[in-house]
Copies of this chain bind each other. A is one copy, B any other.
C-alpha cells in the first residue's frame, strides 16, 4: 500500500496529461483582410449535408485557403445556434451561408443597425424573407458590433463588417476563439441587445 500511495501522484499526473492531450485544442486564430476573391461553392455545397448533389463550379475564381474561406468555414461549423450582431451585412456569400444554416435547422438570430440596414446591397431583407429573426436598433448611435457566436462555443469578432468591400479591399482583422469566458461575455451582450430591440419596444412615428 505504501508503494501504491507513493506512485499515485505520478499516475494521476500521467492521467491528467493524457486527458489534456486528447482534448482537441480550442480554436484561437486571427484572420487578416483584405482577402482575395475565391470560389466558395464547394464549401457551401459541402455544408448542405451528406445527401447534397454537388457539381463542380465552373467559375474562374481561385479555390483554396484564405482568410475569407476560413471565416466561412468557422461560420458553417454551426450545428445548433448562431447569434449575429452586425453593423453592416451585404456580403452575398456570407448571407448564403447564414440561410443555409437556417435551413439546416440552426437557430439563427440577427441584430443589426437600422441606418445600415437600409443601404443598397444589404442582405437583411433577404434573411428576413427566408424566415430568419432580425431585430434592429432605434438609437441615434450606431449598433456598431461585428460579432458572431457559433453554438455558444466560439466567438468571431473584430473590425470586419460583413461586406464585400471590407472583405476584399480593407485592412481588417477577425479574432476567432473558443474561450468560455469571452464567449459568455458576448452572449450576455447579445441577449441584452436582443431584449432591448424587441419589436414591442419599437416606436412608430405617424
Interface residues of A (CB under 8 A from B): 3, 6-7, 9-10, 12-13, 28, 30, 32, 34, 85, 87, 137, 139-147, 157-160, 165-166, 168-173, 175, 177, 179, 181-182, 185-186, 189, 193
Contacts and interface: CB of A to CB of B under 8 A. Distances in A.
A140 B159 contact: no
Given A158-B158, A171-B193, A30 B186 contact: yes
Q: Oligomeric state, in number of copies? A: 2
24 contacts: A7-B9, A10-B10, A28-B179, A28-B182, A30-B186, A34-B141, A85-B171, A141-B165, A141-B171, A142-B170, A143-B170, A143-B171, A144-B166, A144-B170, A145-B159, A145-B171, A145-B172, A147-B159, A157-B158, A157-B173, A157-B175, A171-B193, A175-B182, A177-B182
A14 to B, nearest CB: 8
